[in-house]
Amino acid sequence: MKAVIPLFTAAYAIVALLFGVSAVALMAFAIYELWGALLPQSGVTDRAAQAIESIGMLAVALVALEMAQTVVEEEVVRRVHVSAPTRVRRYLSRFLVVVVVALGIESLVAVVQALHQAPERLPHAASVAVGAAALLAAWGLFVRLNRAVEELEPEGIDEAREEDEKLK
């Protein structure tokens, strides 16, 4: 089993690199979209829609960057195997905070676009916001319920703090 762990570490590093490359590509697309919004070739409404679309792409790029950072820190640098309740909570929290923020931004982008372009799509945009709220509530419940488990295993918190010191 110990011989396989470096292979997983390498695979995690490749995945993190791909997340990073994807984030950079999305940022480039967002810049291109924003540049098109700044050029006065079309109406203000179309240009605003392009600017809003660039915000949506930047939100997804943020998720990709955060995922790359999380994978690098948790799986490559720390070589942590997610098993202790503290590590699971921290890992999921890092992921979910970015997903909830990105979904919130995407729902705002979708609402603005729906209001200006296709009002019949407003329920779809609202459902994204409801999904983000439900995910946030479920995450809060998970953290609350997970605290009781952490109290049974206080050494997990100490180990996690020691790992944080390693990264500094």
Q: CB burial class (10 A; 0-12, 13-18, 19+) of residue 122?
A: middle
Closest CA to 99 of 73, 138, 144: 138
- Count of CB atoms within 10 A of residue 114's CB? 17
pLDDT of res. 152: 67
Residue 35, both tokens: 């540049």
Q: Are 85 and 156 in contact (CB under 8 A)?
A: yes
In this prediction, residue 129 carries a pLDDT of 92
Output the pLDDT for position 28. 96
Every domain of the chain and the residues it spans: 5-167
60 vs 86, more confident = 60
Amino acid 168: pLDDT: 59
- pLDDT tops 60 at residue 78: yes
d(CA 15, CA 11) in angstroms, rounded, equals 6
Q: Is 45 exposed, middle or buried (0-12, 13-18, 19+ CB in 10 A)?
A: exposed
Q: Average pLDDT, stretch 81-101?
A: 73
- Each residue of 6-60: pLDDT tens digit? 888 888 889 999 999 999 999 999 999 999 888 887 777 778 878 888 888 888 8
Whether residue 163 contacts residue 91, with contact meaning beta carbons closer than 8 Å, is answered with no
With bands split at pLDDT 50, 70 and 90, how would you rate the model's confidence at 66?
confident
Q: Residue 157 has what pLDDT?
A: 58
Structure tokens at 28: 């480039």
Task: From residue 11, give the alpha-carbon distance in Å to each of 8, 138, 144.
Answer: 5, 30, 33
Task: Note every long-range contact of 158-165, with CB atoms under 8 Å and residues 24 or more positions apart, other chains counting.
Answer: 159/84, 159/86, 160/84, 160/86, 160/87, 160/90, 163/78, 163/80
pLDDT at 32: 94
Token pair 């695979």 is at which residue?
A: 11
The pLDDT score that the predictor gives to residue 31 is 95
Condensed to tens digits (0 to 9), the pLDDT of residues 108-165 reads 888 887 887 888 989 998 999 999 999 999 988 988 887 777 676 666 556 656 655 6
Query: If you count them, how many residues does the chain have?
Result: 168
Please say if the pLDDT value at position 67 is more than 70. Answer: yes
